[in-house]
Chain A
């Protein structure tokens, strides 16, 4: 019997993941779904990465960053530079992962700097700093003609395939799950719960904040790189406060401090934006209204601070045979 309140065995989990990847390959290879569905599936993967990575800072650590689109922009532009300008003719099989990783690293380095600022500043004030960061990135890019300035970056290869998206999504979820259920994850949560108590219990809160910001921004950059190679065109306007707000909606919809919540939030958001498409302008009324209702009745999101057992390492569960 398959029990859902306990994590599956390692073998079953690996088999499931292999099946997901294999079906992504099959879909891609034999064109099993039309281009519209394929586009939505890739968008879903990118949104999951964005949501779970922002959740690390906004959910697990309890800060409020509105700068996630800025990290996305850094990842998008740097990966585009790698794949178009610097390694243009190279084999995409190794060039594309390299471009994505470079995008992630670029965002991660800047995330480190933003993390340094979070030592002295918290809450609303840190939110303002992340907003300023977002504006700096956007206007910075607008003034670099090498990447097209305000007109945008054209001619990016269509490299973000379904299998690549699935692989990066699974990798992100796995890595963040591992981090969250490690001493660093607990340190990050302790910062949210009570910073004074955390530091009195030997938690190096500065390191915890740096790890949270670096990992969060790295995967934000990865998502940006995938986004750039999905749309094949990026401009500074794609990474504005509206984009950040969309990611925030996914996080608070799905649930803070939860991997399952991040996946759920990204899925609901991605599907809703498509389903509500025919409503035109009314979409702009219904989505925020949903958000207001959510904050009133479930302020921590659907899965707030709860987790689906499949995202929890086995060691976290009590060994039943030991307790009699």
Chain B
């Protein structure tokens, strides 16, 4: 692991008025790894995601992607550099078709201009057709080809989750951030999700950073785990280290688990 980490945060701190949501957050995600972030509710996990994806600008600290600073860039610039994400409460474009949801992410690689689009330059039409083809292929891989022309908001919950991941993958990201992918799933569905995430990692060779409450998923799937509590990192290591870490047991696993 001497190689440069794909994502690195250095002493990132985020304050909202008097509240410190994330403090001194340092993280290294190695290329090819599945890295888990766990911690009790309100520990600052989603805030960390919003900092990495540029939705918040950190009060202090630096975020580096492929060794280059991305701190202060707009979210769309960060996304186009290769960081895709999903949201804790699914945020699809509900009134649009499944295909258009994926196309919007894929569109960031098109080059044609807006006047060119308005007069239908051949280049614009060609790129449009290419995008449709690529997106249909992607939906095929995610088992969503049959519903490509249906309204995204009308899909069953599980398909919406899958579509949100497919949409993020349409960016062709090298890093995928998943915010509680197993939320609302029972243990059988979670087991299938682990299988699906494994396929995703191998098939697209994408590095993953995921927030998850589901311990079984994190412990079986992640190569490395970071534990947050009250905005601070209290432990980091492989699943075995975390399982036996006294601080973690006290802060998290020692509590009555509130998920099923």
Asked if A and B are interacting partners, one says: yes
Residues of chain A touching chain B, judged by Cβ–Cβ distance below 8 Å, are 175-176, 178-179, 181-187, 189-190, 193-194, 196-205, 211, 215, 305, 315, 318, 323
Instruction: Tell whether B38 is near chain A: CB-to-CB under 8 Å.
Output: no
Instruction: Tell whether B92 is near chain A: CB-to-CB under 8 Å.
Output: yes
Contact call B103/A186, Cβ cutoff below 8 A = yes
Contact among B74, B80, B87, B95 for A193, CB-based, below 8 A = B95
Contacts of B107 in A (CB 8 A): 183, 186-187, 202-203
> Nearest B residue to A193 by beta-carbon distance?
B93
> Nearest A residue to B81 by beta-carbon distance?
A202
Which of B118, B148, B171 is packed against the most chain A CB atoms within 10 Å?
A: B118
Instruction: Tell whether B4 is near chain A: CB-to-CB under 8 Å.
Output: no
Contact among A175, A190, A315, A318 for B128, CB-based, below 8 A = A315
Contact call B104/A201, Cβ cutoff below 8 A = yes
Q: Which 3 A-B pairs have the closest CB atoms?
A: A202-B108, A182-B117, A183-B107
Instruction: Tell whether B105 is near chain A: CB-to-CB under 8 Å.
Output: yes
Contacts of B104 in A (CB 8 A): 183, 186-187, 190, 198, 201, 203
In whole angstroms, how far apart are the Cα atoms of A128 and B80 in the complex? Answer: 34
Contact call A203/B108, Cβ cutoff below 8 A = yes
Chain B 138-153, CB-CB to A under 8 Å as 1, else 0, gives: 0000000100110000
CB distance from A322 to the nearest CB of B (A): 9
28 pairs, CB–CB < 8 Å, chain A vs chain B:
A175-B118, A176-B118, A178-B118, A178-B120, A179-B114, A183-B103, A183-B110, A183-B112, A183-B128, A183-B131, A186-B103, A196-B55, A196-B75, A197-B91, A198-B93, A200-B75, A200-B79, A201-B105, A202-B108, A202-B171, A203-B107, A203-B108, A204-B76, A215-B114, A305-B95, A315-B128, A318-B148, A323-B145
Contacts of A196 in B (CB 8 A): 55, 75, 91
In whole angstroms, how far apart are the Cα atoms of A205 and B114 in the complex? Answer: 14
In whole angstroms, how far apart are the Cα atoms of A170 and B100 in the complex? Answer: 26
